[in-house]
Structure 1
Amino acid sequence: MSKRCYYEVLGVSKDASADELRRAYKKEALKHHPDRNQGNPRAEALFKEVNEAYQVLSDEQKRRIYDQFGFAGLEGGGPASPGDMGDVFSHMQDLFTEMFSGGGPFGFGGNRQPRRGGDLRVQQRLTLREAAFGCKREVVVHAPSRCDDCGGSGGAAGSKPETCSGCRGTGQVSTARGFVMFTAPCARCQGRGQVIRNVCKTCKGEGMVAKPRKVTVNFPAGIDSGQRLRVQGQGMPGPGNVPAGDLYVEIDVEDDPRFERDGTDLVTRVNVGFVEAALGADVMVPSIGPETDSADDTGPASAKSTLTVTIPAGTQSGAVFTLKGQGIPRLDGRGRGCLIVVVQVQVPTALTARARELLELLDEELRVGADADAEGVSRRRVAASK
């Protein structure tokens, strides 16, 4: 079979960069690898062709010679010469170690010991006041914890782990297949590098037991639903002496019937009588403060959790009053948001005969006043036009 152009073999252009060559080589080498195409001699031939092409094009000097003189320029010192076999193995070992070490495109498991234990996630509900002004809570975590009897070693008292004879303490075993060296966790010791002869009866050699534990968490002022806190070292314990992972606490703030939260602003609605809205009045509105005003924090507003707002005469339903600095504290500590008061004017629905009579008189009086105002405006316009 006549040789194909090396660029054609890898499926790249002649001005391909080193990264493009590397990616193309990975793709083609995995595609035609003998382990994935057992009993297919053509795939084996293509696999060798791919390796030959990459060895030449990945070497700047050889690539320049090939670009200028073609295959003839490589005769006598070509990629298949005995002196270059070490380079071929080095290229393939580096690439396939990268591809099969956990971060590769095919998602094969890694062969390294974990640097720390896994992370845990729990959810914690807070009242609006707790979220607004911060609090300290004990969060119960139900997860495996380090065994107290063996200290997490998995061995019985007085026993010591022994070096695994299968991997000689490395936690890995390597197997050569052709030019490629494959590395995997040792099946004998599960990648730990050590074996335990006399296991702990409490944890049965696992080094961990399932039990609830309490973690004290400080919730900062201004935190909101959907946010989460990270508590370092309170996650899953790692095998042996590996540090524990982290605990992530996801926040869920309870609804408060008095308020609607919008970031650092609070919206509250206050009902005002018809007469109060017409004549103006001082009305009490609920507010939020760091002091608890009732046992469940949702009861009737007391003097500690109310503010006085003066509404002017003629206030209409839907009118909005903004009280600065009475909302939720900001997470960065730079002040507080606003308390937004929305007025809802209550119109009486059940009227006595006397109340109806008075309202009718009021309506008549208001009409007279409106007509007088309209006449005055008309006179002023006529006077202005003269």
Structure 2
Amino acid sequence: MKLLETVKINQWNLQSRVVMAPMTRSFADLETGVIHPDTVAYYAKRAKHGVGMIITEGIAVSPEARGTIGIPGLYTEDQTEAWKEVTAQVHQEGGIIIAQLWHVGRLSHSAITGGLQPVAPSAVQANGLTHRVGLPYEMPKAMSEEDIQKVIQDFTKAAINAQLAGFDGVEIHAAHGYLIDQFQFPWVNFRKDAYGRNKYLFLEEILQAVANSIGAERVIVRFSEHKDDTPLFFWEQPEKEVIEILDVFRRTGIQVIHPSAQTYRKPLAGHELTLHALVRKHWEGVVIGVGELTPEIAEESLAKGEIQLAAFGRLLLSNADLVKRLKEDKSIKDYNPKSDLQHLR
């Protein structure tokens, strides 16, 4: 199987094309954002059994970046130090581990951020409830240009801390309706300045700053059509949107991207192509596929060159040894969220 091949992507030597998708696990201390010791075994076990690349759950770049309780951080020395054991163990098992850097913007509440008002491009309140805690989203503060520069610095500092902690790279979470994505919402971004006139400027400046600090070859970007708080949203001109955002990645030197689809094989609304097929049409670099993939769908997509890496979420929760099972042609266990300590096995 192509899925089980070793492959070199940039400077990363991967023991397979299988990627562990980022999944919120809330493994950190509620107050400090320092990861729980069980996090080490959780990630190391997947690397031990042949996962080529692990992308962590979303890691907050600042206290106000958090969208629920138990979110780990990379903005303090203690948080950075705690991650060192995780990266060391993953490397010992032959794996590559990427820190996903995250800021939820308006999809939060001051009870989660330590009393800080959530921020957004404009003061527009989101519909819905925060993850796990179930608090209604608060009215966010419209970001000043000073606030914007602070967030860019927060992402940059977190990327530098990730490197200090031994991570092989970072993934910038610019998907799913979180802060970076919110600048691209016409119903959230009513700004009259440069960040309103150019909806991709905030993303571009974050990518450029992070690339300048740790190297563009160590940066992955996740983006999506789907928005967590607006499930019925769809791009009116999907091809135009994809072309424009890919141009941002080219300008900033990004080489590996992670288009996030809820269902891999579902075509985009008003278009004959799926998200990944449309991306491949206009992108010459590396693509990570994701969206309820099965090994069979992944293998087919790898074979035709639509993607270079395949990310699995729930399958890797229920099968830490997924790669081994595929190699030995063993059955794959179905995901069961009620299983005892499912998330730590």
Query: How high is the TM-score relative to the length of structure 1?
Result: 0.18
Given the two structures, how large is their TM-score scaled by the length of structure 2? 0.20
Q: Which has the higher relative contact order, 1 or 2, with Cα contacts under 8 A spaced 6 or more apart?
A: 2
Name the structure where helix makes up a greater proportion of residues: 2
Which structure features the higher share of strand residues? Answer: 1
